[in-house]
Amino acid sequence: MMIRMLFALVFVAAPVLAQDPPQAPPAAVAPYNQGIAKYRSGDLDGAIASFDRAIEIFPDYWKALNSRGVAKRDKKDLDGALRDYSKAIQINPKNAGAYSNRGVALNDKGDQDGALADYATALTLDPLDYYTYNNRGAVRTDRKDFDGAIADFTRALELNPKYAEAYSNRAVAKRRKGDTAGADADRAMALQLNPKLAR
C-alpha cells in the first residue's frame, strides 16, 4: 500500500495580518480563476499560462503563485514549485496553504526535515488543516515514527471523518507497527469511502 500525500490548491482564508497583503485587481483575478478551472480540468500547461498572466498583471498575487506552484509540482518541476511557494510565503507569511504545499515539494526532493518544519508552521497558522496532518503523518510513517503518524492521521479524521486517504494511510502505519486488525479495519473504511483506493 502506498502513502498518499495531498496539497491545497484552494485554501481557507489565512488569519488576518496586522497589514494584509494588497488585494489583486480584477484584471489579475480573471486569469487566476481561469487557471483554477484549467487546473481542475487537467490542463496543467494552460493553468500555468493563466497563472503567469495573473502574476504578470499583479506580481504580488500570492494566491496565483501558490496555485502555479501546485501545477508545477504536478509537472515534476519541483524547483519551480518551491520558488513559487517561497515567493507566496514572502508576500503573505500567514499563508498556511503555501507552507503546507512547500512541505510536500520538499518531501518530494528528499528534505523531510524541511517538510516537517513547513508542516509545523502550516498547522500553527491553520490547526484545522486536515490535509497537512495527513501529509505530516506520511512523512512520520516513512521515518518509522508510527505513533506520531497514527496521531496525525487520527487528527485528520477527527477534522474530516470522510477523508478516505487518511484511513488508508493510517492503515499503512498501523500495519507497519504490527496492528493488523486495526490496519484491516482502516483499510475497509477507506475502501468504503473511496473504492478507487483499491487500485
- Tell me which residue has cell 484511513: 167
The mean pLDDT value of the chain amounts to 91
* Angstrom distance (rounded) from CA 23 to CA 110: 35
Is residue 96 in some structural domain? no
Is residue 42 in some structural domain? no
* Angstrom distance (rounded) from CA 83 to CA 69: 8
- pTM (predicted TM-score): 0.87
CATH of the domain at 198: 1.25.40.10
Residue 195 lies in domain: 133-199
Is residue 90 in some structural domain? no
Is residue 197 in some structural domain? yes
Q: Which amino acid is at 78?
A: L
DSSP 92: -
Is residue 107 in some structural domain? no
Q: pLDDT for 32-54, tens place per residue? A: 999 999 999 999 999 999 999 99
Is residue 100 in some structural domain? no
Per-position b or e across 134-166, b if 16+ CB within 10 A of its CB: bbbbbbbbeeebbebbbbbbebbbebeeebbbb
What is the rounded end-to-end Cα distance, in angstroms, of the chain? Answer: 10
Q: pLDDT for 182-194, tens place per residue? A: 999 999 999 999 9
Overall number of domains in the chain: 1
Q: Which amino acid is at 179?
A: D
199: pLDDT confidence band, cut at 50, 70 and 90? Answer: confident
Is residue 163 in some structural domain? yes
Is residue 188 in some structural domain? yes
**8 Å CB contact between 131 and 143:** no
